[in-house]
Amino acid sequence: MAEMSFLPAADAAGTPAARIAASLAARSGFDPATKLRLMVSGLQVGWLPRAHAGILRGMGGVLGPDERLADGTAAVALLPGRDDFNARSAALQALARQLADTGHVRGWRDELFAVTPALDAPAVAVVERAAARFLGLLTFASHMNGIVDGGMGAQPEGGPALWISRRSPAKAVDPGMWDNLVAGGMPHGSDPLATLVRECEEESGIPPDLAQGAQAHGVIEVLRDLPEGVQWEQVYVYDLLLPPGFTPHNQDGEVSEHRRVGVAALLAIMSAGAMTVDATMVTLDALGRRGWLGAGHRA
């Protein structure tokens, strides 16, 4: 997981930064001893929980034998004997449907994610998105801070503020939590900017010509245990400076509310653990880069 160096380690307990750090830590545990490195053709594509490996072994032919690696971790091959993209993809689609039918995965999306060791590497297969966290697959997403910069030292109406969105209560993952203005998983065949432009229009009614002006600010990696498996995700971070009069409007039903908030209110939301882990990290990244974290403390 990326270091949040702009959250001072020496911050006194009870400050917004300390509460945010505690909330992130409480929600970001990862124990490699309870995982198997999930491998395809010698490349790691996921962190498979051992409990889920037991379920898959009951389905037959999905996993090879465990193998101990030099670093002390264990690895397992996914779909041994299937050596091409189409064969693996067909087997994974059948596996995902079986996992859904038996209640092991939920929130079927009819959306395909790449099975790959890296964004710039060829995919070895595709799989239904709903099964990605069960398998602990490496996934990719684009998140965008929607920024209204009114200058430092003023109240939210005239000072720096961010638009954020509340996830629909019907979402399979993190329902009802606060999120970045735009956030979306990257399907197979897309790229970070194309994913962002599409999600901008669907989630917030931001037209493509405006969305194309988003500024890229690197990647934050998230690796954490979840009840449904593992979130191993590379989040591509963007900022978009929005016109002062712009108001977002959801188009696809996945957002229940948009809110324009000043820095102090935003810190309070994050302190309460009401924002998703990845969105909290992306938001803190923007506040730190722009020198707004101190303004939030003073507000």
- Cα–Cα dist 226/29, whole Å: 9
Read off the pLDDT of each residue in 247-257 and give the average, rounded to a whole number.
93
| The pLDDT value given to residue 72 | 86
Strand extents, DSSP E, the chain: 35-40, 43-49, 67-68, 74-77, 112-115, 125-128, 138-148, 161-167, 178-180, 182-185, 215-226, 229-241, 255-262
Task: Decide if 4 is inside a domain.
Answer: no
Residue 211 structural domain: 16-29+140-298
- Cα–Cα dist 285/237, whole Å: 9
Q: Rounded to two decimals, what is the model's pTM? A: 0.92
Picking from 240, 183, 242, the residue whose alpha carbon sits closest to that of residue 214 is 240
Report which of residues 7 and 215 the model is more confident about: 215
Read off the pLDDT of each residue in 10-39 and give the average, rounded to a whole number.
88
Q: Is the pLDDT score of 260 beyond 80?
A: yes
| The pLDDT value given to residue 10 | 44
| 265 and 163 within one domain | yes
Tell me the CATH number at 203.
3.90.79.10
Task: Decide if 20 is inside a domain.
Answer: yes
- Cα–Cα dist 293/208, whole Å: 30
Report the chain's mean pLDDT, rounded to a whole number: 91
Task: Decide if 198 is inside a domain.
Answer: yes
- Asked if 283 contacts 145 with a C-beta cutoff of 8 angstroms, the reply is yes
Q: Is the pLDDT score of 29 beyond 70?
A: yes
- Cα–Cα dist 80/285, whole Å: 41
Span 66-75, pLDDT tens digits: 999 988 889 9
